Structure 1
Amino acid sequence: MRIRRTRVAATAVLAAVALTLGACAEDTGSGTDAGSGNGNASGTIKEGLKVTFLPKQVNNPYFDTSDNQGGKPAVEEFKGQYAQTGPSEASPSAQVSYINTLSQQGTDVIIIAANDQDAVCGSLTEAKAAGAKIVTYDSDTKPECRDAFVNQATSEGIAQAQIKLISDAVGSEGGEIAILSATANATNQNAWIELMKTELAKPEYSKLKLVATVYGDDQDEKSFQEAQGLLSKYPNLKGIISPTTVGIAAAARYLSGSSYQGKVQLTGLGTPNQLREYVKDGTVKAFALWNPADLGYLAAYTGAALASGIITGKEGEKFTAGKLGEFTLGANGEVLLGDPFEFTASNIDQFNF
């Protein structure tokens, strides 16, 4: 599979500039086609919307980028009120009390990356009944529990990219590989892992053997220890895939300071600023990601479009997300950001996030 880069690369460059120079005010899309079945023919976003991001955990570099450097500038563009709140640990039920509080406070838009697709459904349904619009991003819930899902990339595209990257890194001889994931209940992680297994069953990857899947719970120290444990248990391991920004950074730190550097290949999903030194010292040959700032930016505009009546969550509806342009809702209220982008030593210095 060739990883397509055109659109995501363009938005990533825009975001890198924005993160360096500060977000610039953009057109809020007041001329947007309102789409079908909505009550706002002008397509104008309401001013003063209360928009709160509820990530899997706060003080996580990935969500700091998506929320504070993507969502916040977007909310400021359409003159809303931005906030971020959430648990310090990414446990299945940790987000429930925050959802209940936001509902009681009359929050217009709750944008959540679900730690567990089932644990938060009841409280999200109650928040919807109270008038909040619910947008999931990064990790989805069941469709009936929210109004829209902003998908960073298709699960199939992410899985295909991860297997292609580890195959290229390991080389034609193949060998044993392992997966270092986030939490065992993370909806997106589990979907990617199952599709990676499907991808590994293809003839072109017959020399790769998945021997283990471990979980670092999106905690740096635990992810570091899990990476260390993999090499202790599987001394012939040739590669690790870590489809989580916390996990890949921790694994890279471990490998770079060990005798396994250059011998055990590492790829996954990470940010350029986290992995720059490890790409340059050869620990990581290549990794992938969408632009998290763009993800948060799009999630904010999706929520605002819902709360303003521009869209209702039906397939085929269209709205404009500021500088990112026009988007169309797919089945089950899904909004797709784009394809994964591959970062290597040849391009990583072009990005700053």
Structure 2
Amino acid sequence: MLNAFSGLDQMKLQLDPNNYEACPTYNEWLDEQYSEQTGGNLEIFGFQPRPSFVLFTMSPDTYEATFSDFTQQREEGIKESVCNQFPSPIAYYFYRFENGYESDLQRLHLLRDTWESVIDILHALAVAECRHRNIPVVDPLKFKDLFTDSVAQRLENIEKITSQLSAAGIFPSVAKISPAATLAAMKELNQSRNAFSHSAAQSEVQARSWITECYVDVVEVLADLDGLEDIQIVRYLGQVDGTTLRCEIFRGHSSTRTIQNIKISHQQMLESAKYFQQGQMLVIADGLIFGLRPLIYFREDGVGHSTRLCIFRKTRGEDPDRRLEYEVIGEATRHEESRKNFATEINELRGVFGLEAE
């Protein structure tokens, strides 16, 4: 888990030799190291000072020198958790950013894909809960804004949905994962970092420079979004019994198909029964189960041996041939589905905006 490492307010962690409280997470780490090495707390005739404070006071040079060990272990812990525990779109692109690139230009694209995948997942979660709660939505949020290809607009949508659900007395799942301060930092970074835009790097040198500029920011956002470890994105396959779902799980960077039984409560079964149908993509978050269609879908290969998640990108066509275009995770390709395949979900979303069914 990343809990010991989270805190966007400590982005680009630094020490202050005159202020012990400058980096609380470092002090906690030092205390944990001492406890692990000795099997207990530091105690002097019943007095139990914090080992980190003793080190800060008695040997400031050692206190400062050990900081590099902390930051390295912290970064490795973040990367391991993202690659193995985060929803697969984020994990896949970040793993390739770390381990599967052929050039710095390609690596820059993988960093962008990681960043966009974080926003895609948060946005899909926010929209899914908005539909599930069926609470009326008002200006300034508009129905058409949900089907945007703008990263900035998706961040705005998350903020507006969170605000409106909160005003209705609901603390939405996405707000627990991405508090207001984190979301504000993400919006600021999205506006200020060239590497997050799709302007093309002109050279390997420029790509490398942009990666250097943005890498720490992305890692700190990922650390602060450690709640993403606790959600499950799954494809519904069937039910073993009334409270046991059979699902394909999309977690971590591996593309190996994973199918598991998921035990749910009787209350969850009653509240989310309408989603338990073939072809449904679900998210299990904060004890609730929502349907993720149409923003997240899937595509199987011809013989059903592998499944690729598909992330909504844009709308296509006009009546009677309106389509949704998806990015296929792990493939350099796009996939289109008829809008009619998602009529139920789209009309439910239209309903919360007070619009008639299509």
- TM-score range (shorter-chain normalised) is under 0.3
Question: Higher Cα Rg: structure 1 or 2?
Answer: 2
Q: Which has the higher contact order (CA 8 A, sep 6+)?
A: 1
| TM-score (structure 1 length as normaliser) | 0.25
| TM-score (structure 2 length as normaliser) | 0.25
Higher percent of residues as helix: 2
